[in-house]
Structure 1
Amino acid sequence: MSNTNIEQVAEILYHAKNSKIPCLPIRDVLPSGSIEEAYQVQAIGIEKEISLGKQITGKKIGLTSTAVQQQLGVNEPDFGTLLTKMEIQNNRLPFTQLMQPKAEAEWGFVLKQKIDSPITNIEALQDYIDYAVVAIEIVGSRIKNWDIQITDTVADNASASHYIIGSQAIPLSEINFTQCQMQLFQNKELVSQGKGSACMGNPLNAVQWLANKMIEMNTPLQKGELVLSGALGQMINLKKGDQLEVKIDDFQPVYLEIT
């Protein structure tokens, strides 16, 4: 596939994002349909955003929960890039900024140093992590009707949209990552729940996968970056006026209103 064609696919997604008009699945215009090509498309989109003044703030890991994989018909994780302006301020997010939005609850991790050496186990990984935060991620697809396969979502920056993290910086030693219990409330109704093991057996397994993937792609995770590790339960559809609350064990909840 020529660079020109890859750039054309990236432009289709970029236009969909800015016009707020979803496009048809792009997997049909990737000749090999390979994940490698899809990541090339994603990279062009990120480079475009950086050229317009945005900065990379971290990464998100997608499709780590069995429940979410079943919803989307895939069986492997992916990753996307977090940028400035994706983080939600003041617990409020205008619905007009969103495209086909859904929400999920997860752990976020802030790195205290660059990860430039392969990580062989999660014990070694913890030396690179400063603290954890409770997070709500808003995902949104630029693909019409969420008609996606793995190459569609990878090219579409892993369906990244927005996120909000809690103000409580939690030491890793205080968290039971496999047994912790997540509850997601929508307008005070419990609509999604799960435990830490729903995310690849342990959210730290997902971060380890990402760290090694980034080294493989010569774009290692950097000091200070945020890593959203993946959903702990099913994602939910969002509409204007929704009020969300996420609780994980007895840690401080995170609130979000869609205005």
Structure 2
Amino acid sequence: MTEQNVTLNSKQEAFAQALYKAYQSKQPLTMTDWDGVVTDDDTAYAVQDRFAELKKLPTSGYKVSLTSKQTQDMFDSDSPLYGQQVDSHFLPSPALLSLKEQTMAPLLEVELGFRAKEDLKPDDSFEDLLHKTTVCGTLELPDSRFADWFPDLSKYNVMSDCAVGGYVVYGTERPADVAFANVAEAATVNVTLYHDGKKEKSGKSSEVLGNPFKSLAWLVSKLADQGKVFRTGQLISSGTFLLPPHLTKGKWEAQFDHGFGKVTVNVTD
């Protein structure tokens, strides 16, 4: 069964409405108020679909979460999960972001982004995906409609909340088959994260399911299971190279190798 077959009950519909209201007002929800309202994956994605529908904006891309064993264990999951993102939440680097006006309780992740040059299909091989996408470095800024959410929010509430989607800052895009000689090379990207010029963390792309193309392939297949298509022009932020710090004010910069350069977000109060 996919969430296409799920009819939300009154509590689940109220949950989707509450998520949307918090999204608009920046007034966070309390976790205990919504515990147990969603108890399975299909319903969680159905609530997410309803939350996304209430925004009355098309889905311009996705973020994939829980792409390492460490983060899966934190949220008691054995697979990744995805969230839908609207166009205004994809920002080209260098980006400017206000904590007070645009976020609630954001983190910061360093990832690779892939944009579809044509519709992606579940039977596409990794080699096909290499030729059908552009790739860039991203800073993904997860954010939740719940107060004090990380790392205690339940997996189903994370899923319902568009996988705690916030903003995605993306760097210069190149054809993936230009950036990488082959699929395996995508697992060898290194990054160093700086905050106000001070080194904070470093990570590598192999943290993302062993290779970020696996994250992309997972999403394309998952969407197909739900009767959806990863369409031309849509962008995925494919999973974090490192355990995320809290986003605070100042200049955050990810320095990638493999020619991806810097991705920067300047954060104000």
Query: Does the pair score TM above 0.5?
Result: yes
For the 8 Å contact 1:245–1:253, the answer to whether it is kept is yes
What CA deviation, in whole Å up to 9, does each residue of 1:55-101 have, x standing for no partner? 32111111113343355454421101110210235520111210111
For structure 1, the residue ranges without an aligned partner over 5 or more in a row are none
For the 8 Å contact 1:67–1:233, the answer to whether it is kept is no
The letter for the 1-side match of 2:89 is M
What displacement does 1:120 show?
Answer: 5.7
Aligned equivalents of 2:142 and 2:264: distance in 1? 16
Aligned: 1:254 with 2:236: no
Residue 145 (structure 1) aligns with? 148
Residue 26 (structure 2) aligns with? 20
Going from structure 1 to structure 2, the CA distance change for 1:142 and 1:134 (only over 3 Å counts) comes to same
For structure 2, the residue ranges without an aligned partner over 5 or more in a row are 1-6
Aligned equivalents of 1:153 and 1:104: distance in 2? 16
Aligned equivalents of 1:156 and 1:5: distance in 2? 15
Residue 209 (structure 1) aligns with? 218
Counterpart pick for 2:67 among 64, 68, 71:
64
Tell which deviates more after alignment, 100-109 or 164-173: 164-173
What displacement does 1:184 show?
Answer: 1.3
What CA deviation, in whole Å up to 9, does each residue of 1:90-146 have, x standing for no partner? 52011121011101010001101112x4236312322322x1011111111112211
SS at match of 2:114: strand
TM-score (norm 2): 0.86
The letter for the 1-side match of 2:82 is F
Aligned equivalents of 1:71 and 1:190: distance in 2? 25
What displacement does 1:3 show?
Answer: 3.6
For the 8 Å contact 2:130–2:176, the answer to whether it is kept is no
Counterpart pick for 2:138 among 135, 138, 150:
135
Aligned equivalents of 1:118 and 1:3: distance in 2? 31
The letter for the 2-side match of 1:119 is D
The CA RMSD over aligned residues, in Å, is 1.9
For the 8 Å contact 2:135–2:179, the answer to whether it is kept is no
SS at match of 2:217: helix
Residue 172 (structure 2) aligns with? 167
Aligned equivalents of 1:28 and 1:172: distance in 2? 45
Aligned: 1:34 with 2:43: no
What displacement does 1:6 show?
Answer: 2.1
What CA deviation, in whole Å up to 9, does each residue of 1:37-70 have, x standing for no partner? 11111000111112xxx23211111111334335
Going from structure 1 to structure 2, the CA distance change for 1:192 and 1:159 (only over 3 Å counts) comes to same
Counterpart pick for 2:162 among 157, 162, 168:
157
TM-score (norm 1): 0.90
The letter for the 2-side match of 1:237 is H
SS at match of 1:205: helix
Aligned equivalents of 2:28 and 2:36: distance in 1? 15
Residue 233 (structure 1) aligns with? 242
Residue 197 (structure 2) aligns with? 188
For the 8 Å contact 2:144–2:161, the answer to whether it is kept is yes
State, as a whole percentage, how many aligned pairs show the same letter.
Answer: 25
Number of aligned residue pairs = 251
